[in-house]
Amino acid sequence: MSNPLLIEFRTSFESAPFSNIKPEHFIPAIKKTISIALNEIDAITKQEEIPSFKNSLESLEYCGKLIGRNSSLLFNLNSAETSHDLQKITQEAAPLLTQFQNDIRLNHSLFERIKYVYENEDKSLLTAEQITLLQKEYKGFIRNGALLNIDKKNKLRELDTQLAQLSLTFGEHVLKDTQAYFLQIENEGDLKGLPDAVIEMAKTIASEKKIKGWVFTLDHPSYVPFMTYTENRELRKEMSIAFGKRGFQNNDQNNTIIILKIIKLRQERAQLLGYQSHAEFVLEERMAQSVENVKDFLDKLSLKAHPAAQKEWNIMSDFASKHLNINSLKKWDTAFVAEKLKQATLDLNEQELKPYFPLQKVLNGLFKIVQKLYGITLHKNLDIDTYHDEVEVYEVHKEGKFYALLYTDFFPRSGKQSGAWMTSYRSQKINQRPHISIVCNFSRPSKKQTSLLTFQEVTTLFHEFGHALHGMLANTTYSGLSGTSVYWDFVELPSQIMENWCYQPEALAIFAKHFETDEIIPSSFIEKIKKAAHFQQGLQTLRQLSFGYLDLSYHNKDASKIKDVKEHEKNQINSLQFTKDTSENCMSTAFSHIFQGGYAAGYYSYKWAEVLDADAFELFLEKGIFDKKTSHSFLENILSKGGTEHPMKLYKRFRGKKPEPNALLRRAGLT
């Protein structure tokens, strides 16, 4: 019993005992718990009772508990605190877990029981949640090969195993290329334009690497401010090219062949299941429903955004020529020039805002905001084990009762993927509360100064916390329908709507306080922030749309015709970009959302969810951003319900009507 992953955790709230879990524990535990789960499934199929929801669907829902827990631990650690050993173990575990999933989905006897229930159970005796679970499982089996013959089932197993391993390898390559590069500056003059805090952070990184001068990396807290503020154009170019060629270099981390393999295998898998393309397969279970609907959605937004983007580009180009001596804007100039233009036209310097956004005060303020909205309180627990010293744990309580654990992990480090995400260590179901984690890569504190966030980092924190609320406030019977287990183009609504509170004076007064004086952010700054929300919305919208089009192109019926990743990408997005292509760079080879994450044929959902959140927040604006009735309705109909009903039903129950697409255009100033 020395392997802690083979038993239930006997800890506070059954939290993970990270200090006791070693990489070598995972494979034996996964193999053993798979064996246990398959025996449980065998028992379901061999029972003599007539199939019913209770003895088939419910029994299936409750089996394999330890596998879900252990695989969540492994994959979450591989993202947030990886190592060479952990990566090897994850590569070994992926095909085992894929095979296990296929052993379930391709189990003919199990499918026959579920099919019987689907066709014969008296639906009037089932709850709405039970009906949804039944429909989801029945369709899930069919969509994962239950109707295929034995040869095709074996082919599906082979495809799924290959795809699982390729996806992991893609992410490992991006991480290695990200960490392999850094820019060392020894001439202090090359730091001109950079804020003091950024320079100090670069000095700290250099000290950690035991080299002279200042060091800038491709991690976002280092890369983004460097590209935004440094006046040395040649160094901006060097950093930009280094960032853009991750996964696209002549080394072992090149992802171009992997991309071609992934899109080929995804299409082959879709066609095996009777679909024309991976996009058609995916979108059948989305609010958008079809490739045509997504394309129409993107086209309509593009039609509105393009004229605004062209106007914004012309203004920026003219400004660069007149004031910055840059006559031809390159991609390494855009963030720098946009910031200078913003300072000139809005009288807004992002660095002036940072003192009002110390991480801890923002976090405490965010806790107060969600308490006002949803009646939850968060208290730090210093006794619960974590996977790194920087990770903190909070107990979440509602109406005096324990409701969830929240892990927070805010700063970049070696072994941690870039970006920001929310994840779960334990799902919610009846009589079980969830363990949720948010992982970010914010500017870390220095010896002289606390961590001060950019406004973009503030909105990122609120965004990920919105996802966390979706997980923490879930209140369903079955974990398969809990929290973020919803249609993928609905999952961003709780996260994106939370960003709206970052722009409201009443909310800013709670969390935007000077790190030294505790002074509330001046109203003049708030006005600038609100104006900045409309700054270059055309260009920003066009950029997001280009990613949506590119994603769709890799997964439509013509995807198998792609022979050259770089050339294909160039053809897809050139018309939506104003800078010339950089031959050394390829965005696709680091497009982890679609080649490693779950956004394949779904990147459009960011904009789709913006329509939902803009429309939903208009009700908060109408009633009051802390209106109890409105927030209670959002909690009851959206946050707590997960995927227990169709998302449009849930949305209409909250809003009283279908979402109004023009709400997004109004908010973005594109009408």
User: Mean pLDDT over residues 457-475, rounded?
Assistant: 98
Q: According to DSSP H, which parts of 107-255 are helical?
A: 108-120, 128-143, 150-180, 196-209, 220-229, 233-244
Query: Six-digit token pair at 468?
Result: 């966390």
User: Mean pLDDT over residues 326-338, rounded?
Assistant: 97
- Angle of helix 26-46 relative to helix 65-80, nearest 10 degrees, comes to 150
User: Mean pLDDT over residues 522-538, rounded?
Assistant: 92
Quick: pLDDT tens for 99-144.
Answer: 999 999 999 999 999 999 999 999 999 999 999 999 999 999 999 9
Quick: pLDDT tens for 8-43.
Answer: 999 999 999 999 999 999 999 999 999 999 999 999
User: Mean pLDDT over residues 548-565, rounded?
Assistant: 96
Query: Under a CB-based contact definition with an 8 Å cutoff, are residues 290 and 280 in contact?
Result: yes
> Does domain 4-147 sit in CATH 3.40.50.880?
no
Could you give the CA distance from residue 111 to residue 99 in angstroms, rounded to a whole number?
17
- Per-residue pLDDT band at 171 (split at 50, 70, 90): very high
Residue 464 annotated as catalytic: yes
536 sits in the region (left: phi over 0; alpha: psi -120 to 50; else beta) called left
By CB atoms closer than 10 A (0-12, 13-18, 19+), residue 660 is middle
Q: What is the pLDDT of residue 151?
A: 97
Q: What is the pLDDT of residue 351?
A: 87
Looking at the DSSP assignment, which residues form a beta bridge with residue 421?
439
> Does domain 355-533 sit in CATH 1.10.1370.40?
yes
User: Mean pLDDT over residues 81-95, rounded?
Assistant: 94
Every domain of the chain with CATH number 1.10.1370.40 lies at: 355-533
- Per-residue pLDDT band at 190 (split at 50, 70, 90): very high
H or E segment to which residue 75 belongs: helix 65-80
User: Mean pLDDT over residues 311-334, rounded?
Assistant: 97
Average pLDDT, the chain: 95
Q: What is the pLDDT of residue 348?
A: 86
Query: Six-digit token pair at 508?
Result: 């800013």
Query: Six-digit token pair at 639?
Result: 């946050």
Looking at the DSSP assignment, which residues form a beta bridge with residue 379?
395
Q: How far is CA 149 from CA 101, 112, 114, 292, 532, in A?
A: 17, 14, 18, 31, 57
- Per-residue pLDDT band at 459 (split at 50, 70, 90): very high
User: Mean pLDDT over residues 469-477, rounded?
Assistant: 98
- Per-residue pLDDT band at 670 (split at 50, 70, 90): confident
Query: Under a CB-based contact definition with an 8 Å cutoff, are residues 626 and 506 in contact?
Result: yes
pLDDT at 164 over 60: yes
User: Mean pLDDT over residues 582-602, rounded?
Assistant: 95
Every domain of the chain with CATH number 1.20.1050.40 lies at: 4-147
- Per-residue pLDDT band at 597 (split at 50, 70, 90): confident
Residues near 536 by beta carbon (within 8 Å), at least 6 away in sequence: 312, 316, 338
User: Mean pLDDT over residues 397-415, rounded?
Assistant: 95
- Per-residue pLDDT band at 669 (split at 50, 70, 90): confident
Could you give the CA distance from residue 199 to residue 222 in angstroms, rounded to a whole number?
10
* The dihedral formed by the CA atoms of 407, 411, 416 and 421, expressed in degrees to the nearest 10: 50
Quick: pLDDT tens for 206-249.
Answer: 999 999 999 999 999 899 999 999 999 999 999 999 999 999 99
pLDDT at 1 over 70: no
pLDDT at 671 over 80: no
Query: Under a CB-based contact definition with an 8 Å cutoff, are residues 494 and 466 in contact?
Result: yes
Quick: pLDDT tens for 234-293.
Answer: 999 999 999 999 999 999 999 999 999 999 999 999 999 999 999 999 999 999 999 999
Single out the catalytic residue among 81, 464, 569, 610.
Answer: 464
Q: What is the pLDDT of residue 444?
A: 87
Length in residues, the chain:
671
